[in-house]
Structure 1
Amino acid sequence: MSYSFEYIDIILLAMIAGFIFLRLRGILGKRTGFEGKTPPEFKRILKNVENNTAYKPNNKFDDGAKKEFLKGAKIAYETIITDFSDDDNKLTTSKPLLDDKILNQFNEALKERGNRGHFAEITFVGINSAEIKEHKKIGNVLNVTVNFVAEVITCIKDKNKNIVSGDPEKIKKIYDTWVFSRDTNSNNPNWQLVNTLT
């Protein structure tokens, strides 16, 4: 009789253990063969989601957008001005900031300077002010005109390092009006210089 009670105890314990196992499996779930891997159909779905939630530029040129634009415009202005002091007769660091027309014009000016045997020494002191004069949207393209007032120390020297123009000891105030442009439908947030006005 004692043996029969032991068998009953074992069966009851096994039933209780099985019940607990099933409850835990229902609550915690189970491991599947897809863990750590994304099925191809889900990869396509995720890719579509990523494309739909990709960077969307703010097409409203509101006060916040103007403020951010001017920050970038100041950096672009300094980069382009100081790039003229390089001796390789072509713009390098500022190239992505210029559209093809302006880039060619600037490079031609540098080439002419180099043919004369001249080179520039430019020290950028700082920007006194940068103000948006106007902004116009033509189709998808937004053009923003900016008035810059800056201070530089600049002089042009010949191959013998004689001063041709300018003064290496004097700070000069310069006034420039530049036009920046970008396609508002493009995911590329960068602006380019498209014109310089006198």
Structure 2
Amino acid sequence: MNFDPLNILLLAVALVVFWRLRSVLGTRTGTEKPPFDPFGAKRTESPVRQDGRDNVVRLPQGAPASGADSDQEPAPPVWQGYAEAGSPLALGLEQVAENDPSFSPRSFLEGAKVAYEMIIDGFAKGDKASLKNLLSKEVLDGFAQAIDAREAQGQRVESRFVGIDKATLHAATLMGSKAAVTVEFVSELISATYDRSDKVIDGDPKQIREVTDVWTFERDITSRNPNWKLVSTQAPD
């Protein structure tokens, strides 16, 4: 076999180059550290819980059956601060709360005040859509007829709600699954009704009026819907 001196020389050079590269770079063993990541270096791993149960939320435990905590005074009656003991209102509030654990006079009144303002505003604007979820069908029909009659005569109402001075519980009853609560609202608002020629025919656009309304709200306590609806309006006594 003939050997070309040039080929032998090139092979020798290649072997020398390979040996030097191997000595400088070394060989991969699979245990090398990954390349440094300047962003990843700032991340910290989530701490491991001591009990080994990661992402477990501990809920408060119930009060013990005996001991100091069991000597706590019982909760005040639901009607306290809203009715006289033994009155029909107090008995009604107790009955509603016993059958609907989510009910409390305080939260009910807060919601009723919001609903009152929304209904007053919706009626003034003729916004039937916003009234639909706040009124019973019978009350909605009455409001809608009044809005339609007003529009047919070319009248419009401008109203600005100033605030509620007082909201007082008047009655509470439970008939079957229907809970009903009556509230007297004393509010202040500015309201004026204009005719086709923009002449004021009722109210005063510059004067604050005090208005008293007695409204009854109703809710089926067996329903998953928490909303109360206005079922009747009446003049104050």
| Structure number with larger C-alpha Rg | 2
* Contact 2:194–2:201 under 8 Å retained in 1: yes
- Structure 1 partner of 2:114: 75
- Alpha-carbon distance in structure 1 between the residues aligned to 2:129 and 2:102: 32
Q: CA RMSD in A?
A: 2.2
Equivalent residue letter for 1:102:
V
Q: Which has the higher strand share?
A: 1
- Alpha-carbon distance in structure 2 between the residues aligned to 1:195 and 1:77: 13
Shift >6 Å, 4+ stretches: 61-64
Q: Structure 1 length as normaliser, TM-score?
A: 0.67
- Alpha-carbon distance in structure 1 between the residues aligned to 2:144 and 2:205: 24
User: Any idea what the Cα deviations from partners look like across 1:63-113, whole Å, max 9, x if unmatched?
Assistant: 971100001000000000011222xx4522222011111000000011111
**Equivalent position SS for 1:80:** helix
Report matched runs for 1:48-63 at 5 Å: 59-60=98-99
The correspondence for 1:151, drawn from 164, 185, 188, is 188
* Contact 1:76–1:94 under 8 Å retained in 2: no
Report matched runs for 1:119-130 at 5 Å: 119-130=156-167
Question: Is structure 2 residue 181 aligned with structure 1 residue 137?
Answer: no
Equivalent residue letter for 2:114:
I
Equivalent residue letter for 2:200:
I
Equivalent residue letter for 1:114:
E
Q: Gaps spanning 5+ residues in structure 1: where?
A: 1-27, 29-57
Aligned residue pair count? 141
Q: Which has the higher helix share?
A: 1
- Alpha-carbon distance in structure 1 between the residues aligned to 2:198 and 2:158: 10
Q: Gaps spanning 5+ residues in structure 2: where?
A: 1-51, 53-96
- Structure 1 partner of 2:85: none
**Equivalent position SS for 2:118:** helix
- Structure 1 partner of 2:152: 115
- Alpha-carbon distance in structure 1 between the residues aligned to 2:103 and 2:205: 39
Report matched runs for 1:173-188 at 5 Å: 173-188=210-225
Q: Structure 2 length as normaliser, TM-score?
A: 0.56
- Identity, in percent, stands at 36
